[in-house]
Structure formats: C-alpha cells, structure tokens
C-alpha cells in the first residue's frame, strides 16, 4: 500500500486536468457510480487506440508514469521481462465509449501478464472521475465489465486493486 501511495503521489498528481483520489478508487467509493453508468448508457465498442478521444489520451499520458503507451490488439507490447523497452507497455483489448463514459481493458506484462480495466467518467472528452482495477481475459465489452464487477463488488469490495499502482500509473 505504501508503494501505491508513493507511485500515485509521484506520477499521478501532476497538473493533468484531473487529480486522482487514490483512497476513493482503492476503497471502491466510486465503483457503484461507474456500474450505474455501464448499465444505463449505450456503449459502442472499438478495437483501435485511435478511437480514444484526444483530450482523454492527453490526460492519460500526463497521469501515467510511462506516457500511457498502448499497442493495438495483435501488436507487440512489453508482455514480459525480455521484451524490448521500446515497445508500448500496454496492449488494448477493447475500448467502449458512451456519451459520459469510456471503458478500456488492456494487457500489461512483466514477469507475468494480466488484464487491467480503466473506467473513466467524461465531460467534454475530459476525465472527471476514474476507477481502475484488475480484469479478466474474457472481457470484450463494457457489458462484460459490468457483469464482472457487479457480481464481484458484492462479495469482495475493495480487493480489486492488488496491483493498482501498475494499472494506469
């Protein structure tokens, strides 16, 4: 937990148009807001990083420790410790957008690979709230994310962030 706080303080609190409230994210205080948005809004799903709104991508690059580098599905990324450091550190699985939300799942690697989920609440294509957690390789849409976290949050709220510091930041 101390490492997480250090990572977020060092990387996440630059002036990026959004300040990360790590305590709010880690305690899932905003998860229900995101689940409601996932349930009520219409989402379109994409498989190309170019579909991330420019303002959102600019904020993510500012907030992350590595400029939020992202490969498209099927493209090489830093999947393991032997991967080139020149490769992006993430590989997009899907991106779903609605009028007020953006949901993204992506692979990250190192010693092992894992799936991260990033949910963003947007106003005028700018981040106004953020939730991030671990995902599943079966995720293909915002609806899948809703089903996963709806059932999980009832059982183990607050335990979705074992490696939160590596998710976005």
The tokens for 47 are: 């498989």
Could you read off the pLDDT of 7-40 as tens digits, one per residue? Answer: 444 444 678 888 877 777 777 778 888 999 999 9
Three-state DSSP class for residue 127: strand
**What residues have CB less than 8 Å from 55, skipping those under 6 apart?**
124, 125, 126
Q: Report phi then psi at 134, rounded to 5.
A: -80, 150
The tokens for 82 are: 């032997």
Three-state DSSP class for residue 1: coil
Could you read off the pLDDT of 100-157 as tens digits, one per residue? Answer: 999 999 999 878 888 999 999 999 999 999 998 888 888 999 999 998 887 765 555 5
pTM: 0.83
Could you read off the pLDDT of 60-114 as tens digits, one per residue? Answer: 999 888 899 999 999 999 998 888 999 999 999 999 999 999 999 999 987 888 8
């Amino acid at each position: 937990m101390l490492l997480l706080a250090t990572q977020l303080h060092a990387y996440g609190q630059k002036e990026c148009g959004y300040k990360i409230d790590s305590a709010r994210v880690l305690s899932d205080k905003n998860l229900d807001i995101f689940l409601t948005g996932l349930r009520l809004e219409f989402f379109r799903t994409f498989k190309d990083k170019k579909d991330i709104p420019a303002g959102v991508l600019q904020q993510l690059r500012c907030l992350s420790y590595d400029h939020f580098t992202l490969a498209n599905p099927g493209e090489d990324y830093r999947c393991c410790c032997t991967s080139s450091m020149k490769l992006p550190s993430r590989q997009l699985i899907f991106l779903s957008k609605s009028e007020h939300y953006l949901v993204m799942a992506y692979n990250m690697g190192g010693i092992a690979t894992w799936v991260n989920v990033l949910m963003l609440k947007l106003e005028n294509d700018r981040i106004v709230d953020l939730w991030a957690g671990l995902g599943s390789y079966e995720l293909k849409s915002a609806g899948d994310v809703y089903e996963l976290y709806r059932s999980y949050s009832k059982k183990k709220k607050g335990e979705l962030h074992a490696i939160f510091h590596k998710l976005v930041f």
